[in-house]
Amino acid sequence: MVADPVLRTALVVTTMVGVTIGTQFLGLDARRDAPADRIAALLRPAFKVPTEPPRRIGARASGRQPPAPRHP
């Protein structure tokens, strides 16, 4: 299994390569003519999850761990 940081890095890099190929080699005018700040705003959500520290499985959105199960 691929380590999570390696997979996250690969996903970010391949996304950036795809954007570059679309602009430089495929000549996608919509991308080439768009202002850099607009492109950044649209791509920011796509990069947010892979670049955040990984959450522990079972962690709540607040960052706290769920309560331990009670045994009778």
At 65 the pLDDT is: 61
Q: How crowded is residue 40: how many other Cβ atoms within 10 Å of its Cβ?
A: 11
Closest C-alpha to 11, from 53, 55, 46, 36 = 46
More confident of the two residues 11 and 1: 11
pLDDT digits (tens, 9 = 90+) for 6-58: 888 999 999 999 988 988 889 888 888 889 899 899 999 988 888 887 666 65
Q: In this predicted structure, what is the pLDDT of residue 53?
A: 78
